Structure 1
Amino acid sequence: MGSQVSILGDVYSYGILLLEMFTGKSPTDDMFKDGLSIHQFTAMALPDHVNDIVEPSLLLETDDEDDNSDKDDAYGNKIQERPTARYKDPGPDKAKRLEECLNSVIQIGISCSAISPGERMLMNVVVNKMNAIRDSYLNLRTGGRRRR
């Protein structure tokens, strides 16, 4: 586009990648035609409809409480079962905090994928914000107990 090469192009790609991962949609998806982009699609959903656009599998939780002890296969070999993933009702407080985390991540994706490079979030700011979102989410999942 006649401009100097800049790391802000990498920030743009990172933003689009975040939007892809959290919506489960590709920028080349058939729904993105007639001028609609993944950036616009997600921006229109915030802040009140993030749960409508987020990839449903992200709302599944691993069922850690099930008995996941080793089992024997048909030959007597020990096999370890994977925890099952299913939707668990997190309750209204946790659901609200999860929605806030999702909103924050999507907002970062939107900021990073702004059309104008000067409007894009700087990567050091992205890293700090993503770390804060991660910490908030881990605190949500563990009920206040830190887990790493």
Structure 2
Amino acid sequence: MGGEVSTYGDVYSYGILLLEMFTGKRPTDDVFKDNLNLHQLAKMAFPERVIEIIDQRLLLKGNVNISSNEDYNEMRSRMHQCLLSLVRISISCSVEAPKERSEMRDVMLELQGVRDFYLGVNKYKAKEKKLPMSLEGPSYISNY
């Protein structure tokens, strides 16, 4: 915002990059006018309408080869939880006020937690190592 170069700017850029990847929209898209931007779009959609802004190419379709409807529903639910977490992380990185942005080390830990949750790793790790609740998966999703 015209100030000094700092890691706060890097965190902001990372948040916007994540939003670009998961929404399939660029900050310069025509949809962003009248002071609407990618961060605001995600914040307005979070959490109830986040699926509406996600790039549809990232979502599971009905023709995925999964052994049962129960497995398919579980996988969709897990994906939805992860997308919610990823959008929440992106929003927290791209807030306007630099001092309110997440720290990169916290972002990294949260992203690792999302990855592990999606892959089903946490249910085993949590039993073995007793991870803190914040790292056991996106069940802690908060309303931003």
Q: Which TM-score tier does this pair reach, normalised by the shorter chain? A: 0.7 to 0.9
Q: Is 2:116 the counterpart of 1:135?
A: yes
User: Aligned-residue CA RMSD in angstroms?
Assistant: 2.5
Unaligned runs of 5+ in 2: 126-144
Gap change, CA 1:22 and 1:2, over 3 Å in 2: closer
TM-score normalised by length of structure 2: 0.73
Paired with 2:24 and 2:2, the residues of 1 have a C-alpha distance of: 33
Residue aligning to 1:78: none
How far off is 1:63 after superposition? Answer: 5.4
How many residue pairs get aligned? The number is 119
- Report runs of 4+ in structure 1 exceeding 6 Å deviation: none
SS of 1:52 mapped into structure 2: helix
What is the distance in 1 between the residues matched to 2:12 and 2:2? 17
User: Can you list the C-alpha shifts for 1:54-105, whole angstroms capped at 9, x where unaligned?
Assistant: 111111479578xxxxxxxxxxxxxxxxxxxxxxx821x3322221110100
Who is 1:104 aligned against?
85
Residue identity (%) = 49
Structure 1 partner of 2:72: 90
Instruction: Provide the C-alpha distance between the structure 2 equivalents of 1:120 and 1:28, rounded to a whole number of angstroms.
Output: 22
Question: In the alignment, is the contact (CA less than 8 A) between 2:82 and 2:114 conserved in 1?
Answer: yes
Normalising by structure 1, report the TM-score: 0.71
Whichever structure has more strand as a proportion of its residues is 1
Query: CA separation of 1:2/1:95 partners in 2, compared to 1, >3 Å: closer, same or farther?
Result: closer
Q: Find out whether 1:125 has 2:112 as its counterpart.
A: no
Bigger share in helix:
2
The match for 2:33 is 33
Unaligned runs of 5+ in 1: 66-88
